[in-house]
Structure 1
Amino acid sequence: MKHFPAAIVASLMLTLGGCASLMAPPVNPGEPEPQVIARLGTPTGIYQDNNDKLLEYSRGPFGQYTYMARIGPDGKLISYEQVLTLQKFATIKVNQFNKADVLRTIGKPNDTIYYSRTKLDGWNYGYKENGVWNSQMTVYFDDAGIVRKLENGPDPRYDHDRSGFRR
């Protein structure tokens, strides 16, 4: 049986603990908004959704995780969820949602690009598909800001074959 130095074991435990805190909600329904912000820090975005307020928290490498804390009209936390998931992307309604709807649903994109030939604005969201694959969902808007399509594929930021160097 091998023995590992205490420093290596401690380092592994800190690393694994950091991963767990990234995935687990550190807040509980019913907590007041100031307490939620004290625990989670300054939101990366704030959106109004009818009488509720949404606090966006983009997390992780390349922003692959975005959490939304929903604060009710009473100022207390209703829910806290990871929104960069296939299930949440599926709630975006083509030909109905606009940019504000998308922001309230999945938050800010990692980056945007305008395709002048098709006259579509693409918002890219890098995420961990099924918790495993480095994927990218692109939401396309027309010039009026209406969602026209969604497209899922591998995240090019992780595609080392596209580095520009040929052998």
Structure 2
Amino acid sequence: MRLVILAAFCATVLTSCATLDRDARLQPGVSSEAEVAAIYGQPRRVWPEADGGRTLEYSSQPMGRHAYMVRIAADGRLMGIHDGLSPANRARIVPGMTPEQVSRILGIERSRVRYRNSGEDVWDWTIEPDQSGYGMRFNVHFKDGFVVRAGQSMVFPSRLFPGLED
């Protein structure tokens, strides 16, 4: 019964929220950076761009599944919005990249873990689940300051929260 109530609540909350990349109030070439900030607040990070523009990062990590990157032109107009954690952007992570390059693409990570035996630092992001229905994480392994590999892992339900199964 509690699960049904929780599911109904979540459905209500999710349907009342517009995703930043599909918000009809924001129009590329027309909307301003001030309008983006008025609707969505301050970004978690701001990345300077070579052309004088900026990319505003709206990451929902650690529990969310998106990292919206809002590209602003040098004149302050909205150029576009994309999800840094989309499958296409995750596919851009390749061996040899630096942590900053990865962060600019994927946004702020959910967590970082250091494995002393292998000498690797592993960053992960919560991502959209696949057809299995289990939670998913995207993992990037760094060694000596460079990506050595990336991949996905499933997050299985925890037995720490009994009662949520009914």
What residue in structure 2 maps to residue 72 of structure 1?
73
1:76, distance to aligned residue in structure 2 (A)? 1.3
Q: Report how many residues are paired.
A: 149
Is residue 117 from structure 1 mapped to residue 123 from structure 2 by the alignment? no
Q: Quick one: structure 1 residues 23 and 41, their matched pair in 2 at CA, closer, same or farther if it must change by over 3 Å?
A: closer
- What's the TM-score once normalised by structure 1's chain length? 0.76
Determine which structure has more spread, i.e. the larger CA radius of gyration.
Answer: 1
1:15, distance to aligned residue in structure 2 (A)? 3.2
For residue 124 of structure 2, what is the amino acid of its counterpart?
Answer: N
In structure 1, how many angstroms separate the alpha carbons of the residues matched to 2:57 and 2:16? Answer: 20
For residue 77 of structure 2, what is the amino acid of its counterpart?
Answer: K
RMSD: 2.8
Q: Quick one: structure 1 residues 130 and 69, their matched pair in 2 at CA, closer, same or farther if it must change by over 3 Å?
A: farther
What residue in structure 1 maps to residue 40 of structure 2?
40
In structure 2, how many angstroms separate the alpha carbons of the residues matched to 1:114 and 1:128? Answer: 25
- Runs (5+) with no aligned partner, structure 2: 1-8
What residue in structure 1 maps to residue 22 of structure 2?
25
In structure 1, how many angstroms separate the alpha carbons of the residues matched to 2:42 and 2:92? Answer: 27
Q: Quick one: structure 1 residues 160 and 23, their matched pair in 2 at CA, closer, same or farther if it must change by over 3 Å?
A: farther
Q: Quick one: structure 1 residues 33 and 121, their matched pair in 2 at CA, closer, same or farther if it must change by over 3 Å?
A: same
- Runs (5+) with no aligned partner, structure 1: 1-10
What residue in structure 2 maps to residue 54 of structure 1?
55
Is residue 89 from structure 1 mapped to residue 90 from structure 2 by the alignment? yes
Q: Quick one: structure 1 residues 84 and 133, their matched pair in 2 at CA, closer, same or farther if it must change by over 3 Å?
A: farther
Ranked by relative contact order (alpha carbons within 8 Å, sequence separation 6 or more), the top structure is 2
1:45, distance to aligned residue in structure 2 (A)? 1.5
- What's the TM-score once normalised by structure 2's chain length? 0.76
